[in-house]
């Protein structure tokens, strides 16, 4: 365990960005450095409210079970605090209405706890706890305009702010998010620009917030499916009894941003539970429709760079920004921040920490990235070429058969939920028992889990 009374590393660690990645990074750095300063470009609200400069903050957000467990280990009591604030905690299999391409999934115990809350509440709870750390300071309204370097531009020694102030640092963590300027800052210092991979499903989403009576579910998922089902929705019942309803469309089929058009789009999804919820719902005054279109998967391959600055770490969306529909981003960010803490606990040399975290961040990203882009690649190829390439088709065939079993077989559904929440390896979906079912049993079922002989 780190000695929090006598930190191992002198000087100051700087964190760029006060989102979930930056807040968790500041928390782990507080165990190892004399001082930690978190700098945020926008204004941080004094209560649980929207944070400026985060256009996707008003939409449905999900923390997967593995991410929630990691957060709880860093912030003990956080889960109970969120529940006390009115954020529902529930069994994902029993209290989520889930519809996939093969039909509606029957309610059954899933063995995985899901937590529904607004991003505003989560970040507010984290900010308060981080601010209570005696060695952590938080500065908002402080945009970072560049990195400061040593004489030969091999080590980052601080940050430059928009007002000209220079902040010295023993370590810099970039957690500035999807729109990070880190690749630009690297090239400005004479380093190669990192290789970037982009997979774009042409997806956009739009959100409204409602007051509505309680339902027999706490969340609703209606998942789209390439290439013929572009529309879907995610709904969560959050603190204050509100319902956040995000509708989305891929392949360029984007939801309107006016209330009437939004409601028509939602009705066209064809989900009875969503229809009943909206029929009893009242839009919150003054909130309106909020849209977001920058949903492409974006991977900066920092780990592949042969030259990388010493004392610089990148985590969260700065490394990999995912299609938000899959709900992986916050969990990946938390796992990478925890990996930073583990590296600091084991190493005496901050240069070694930089190398280790760069590799670990890439490893943590790898599986979620593959899961996200496997579906989005189909949308991208469908838009650009009309059909997926041959090498992708076996995976699509397997996935479609697997989805039939998610509806028809509770055991497969529980396995799927475990993989979705990152508490089980994706290899579980191809384990011998599941593989046999996909190959020999899935063909018996049609839409909705109905057997071809008419039974279920």
Q: How far is CA 443 from the centre of its chain?
A: 33
Specify if 188 maps to a domain.
yes
> Using 50, 70 and 90 to split pLDDT, how confident is the model at 237?
very high
Q: Is pLDDT above 90 for 226?
A: no
Specify if 373 maps to a domain.
no
Mean pLDDT over the full length of the chain: 92
Mean pLDDT of 30-35: 96
Least confident interval from 79-83, 374-378, 399-403, 427-431: 374-378
Q: Which pLDDT value is given to residue 49?
A: 79
Count of the separate structural domains present in the chain: 2
Note whether 273 and 223 are same-domain residues.
Answer: yes
- Percent of the chain at pLDDT > 70 equals 95
Q: Which helix (H) or strand (E) segment is 14 a member of?
A: strand 9-16
190, with CB counted inside 10 A (0-12, 13-18, 19+), is exposed
Q: Which pLDDT value is given to residue 347?
A: 87
Smallest Cα–Cα separation from 21: which of 355, 350, 339?
A: 339
Q: Is pLDDT above 80 for 332?
A: yes
Do you find a cis peptide bond into 235, omega within 30 degrees of 0? no
Phi, psi dihedrals of residue 357, rounded to the nearest 5°: -70, -35
Note whether 44 and 159 are same-domain residues.
Answer: yes
Note whether 232 and 260 are same-domain residues.
Answer: yes
For the chain, the helix, strand and coil percentages under 3-state DSSP, each to the nearest 5 = 40, 20, 40
Q: Is pLDDT above 90 for 16?
A: yes
Distance between CA atoms of residues 5 and 324, nearest Å: 39
Note whether 28 and 137 are same-domain residues.
Answer: yes
Note whether 215 and 193 are same-domain residues.
Answer: no
193, with CB counted inside 10 A (0-12, 13-18, 19+), is exposed
Query: Do 71 and 113 meet the contact criterion of CB atoms below 8 Å apart?
Result: no
Q: List the CATH number of the domain containing 21.
A: 3.50.50.60
Q: Which helix (H) or strand (E) segment is 198 a member of?
A: strand 196-199
Query: Do 157 and 55 meet the contact criterion of CB atoms below 8 Å apart?
Result: no
The single-letter DSSP state of residue 367 is H
Note whether 249 and 284 are same-domain residues.
Answer: yes
- Domain interval for residue 22: 9-62+118-199+296-365
Asked which of 292, 314, 347 is the last residue of a domain, the reply is 292
Single pTM value for the model = 0.94
Asked which of 307, 338, 365 is the last residue of a domain, the reply is 365
Tokens of 318: 């700065």
Q: Which pLDDT value is given to residue 391?
A: 84
> Using 50, 70 and 90 to split pLDDT, how confident is the model at 47?
confident
Note whether 166 and 17 are same-domain residues.
Answer: yes
Query: Do 70 and 338 meet the contact criterion of CB atoms below 8 Å apart?
Result: yes
Q: Is pLDDT above 70 for 247?
A: yes
Do you find a cis peptide bond into 227, omega within 30 degrees of 0? yes
Specify if 397 maps to a domain.
no
The angle, 0 to 180 degrees and rounded to 10, between the axes of the packed helices 350-384 and 329-346 is: 160
Note whether 213 and 260 are same-domain residues.
Answer: yes
Q: Which pLDDT value is given to residue 263?
A: 97
> Using 50, 70 and 90 to split pLDDT, how confident is the model at 324?
confident
Note whether 250 and 309 are same-domain residues.
Answer: no
Q: List the CATH number of the domain containing 269.
A: 3.30.70
Mean pLDDT of 430-448: 86
Specify if 19 maps to a domain.
yes
Asked which of 365, 392, 412 is the last residue of a domain, the reply is 365
Q: Which pLDDT value is given to residue 336?
A: 98
Note whether 41 and 129 are same-domain residues.
Answer: yes
């Amino acid at each position: 365990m780190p000695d929090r009374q006598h930190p191992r590393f002198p000087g100051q660690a700087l964190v760029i960005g006060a989102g979930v990645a930056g807040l968790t990074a500041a928390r782990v750095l507080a165990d190892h450095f004399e001082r930690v300063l978190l700098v945020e470009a926008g204004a941080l609200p004094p209560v649980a409210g929207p944070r400026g400069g985060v256009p996707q903050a008003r939409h449905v957000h999900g923390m997967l079970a593995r991410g929630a467990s990691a957060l709880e280990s860093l912030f003990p009591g956080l889960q109970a605090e969120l529940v006390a604030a009115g954020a529902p905690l529930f069994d994902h299999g029993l209290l989520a209405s889930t519809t996939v391409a093969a039909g509606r999934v029957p309610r059954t115990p899933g063995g995985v706890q899901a937590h529904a809350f607004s991003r505003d509440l989560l970040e507010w709870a984290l900010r308060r706890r981080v601010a209570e750390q005696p060695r952590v300071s938080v500065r908002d309204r402080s945009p970072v305009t560049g990195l400061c370097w040593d004489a030969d531009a091999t080590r980052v020694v601080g940050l430059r702010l928009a007002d000209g102030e220079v902040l010295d640092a023993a370590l810099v963590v970039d957690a500035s998010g999807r729109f990070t300027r880190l690749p630009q800052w690297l090239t400005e210092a004479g380093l190669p620009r990192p290789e970037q991979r982009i997979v774009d499903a042409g997806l956009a989403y739009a959100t409204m917030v409602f007051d509505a009576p309680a339902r027999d579910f706490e969340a609703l998922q209606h998942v789209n499916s390439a290439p013929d089902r572009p529309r879907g929705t995610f709904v969560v019942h959050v603190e204050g009894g509100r319902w956040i309803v995000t509708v989305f469309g891929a392949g360029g089929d984007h939801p309107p941003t006016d209330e009437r058009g939004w409601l028509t789009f939602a009705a066209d999804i064809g989900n009875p539970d969503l229809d009943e919820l909206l029929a009893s719902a009242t839009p919150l005054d003054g909130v309106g429709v909020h849209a977001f279109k920058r949903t492409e998967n974006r991977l900066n391959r920092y780990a592949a760079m042969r030259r990388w600055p010493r004392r610089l770490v990148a985590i969260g969306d700065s490394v990999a920004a995912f299609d938000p529909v899959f709900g992986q981003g916050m969990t990946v960010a938390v796992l990478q921040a925890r990996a930073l803490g583990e590296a600091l606990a084991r190493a005496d040399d901050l240069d070694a920490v930089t190398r280790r975290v760069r590799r670990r961040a890439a490893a943590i990203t790898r599986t979620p990235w593959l899961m996200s882009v496997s579906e989005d690649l189909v949308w991208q190829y469908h838009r650009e070429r009309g059909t997926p390439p041959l090498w992708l088709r076996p995976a699509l065939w397997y996935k479609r058969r697997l989805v039939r079993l998610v509806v028809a077989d509770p055991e497969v559904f529980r396995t799927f939920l475990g993989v979705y929440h990152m508490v089980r390896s994706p290899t579980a979906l191809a384990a011998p028992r599941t593989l046999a079912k996909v190959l020999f049993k899935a063909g018996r079922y049609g839409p909705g889990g109905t057997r071809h002989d008419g039974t279920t």
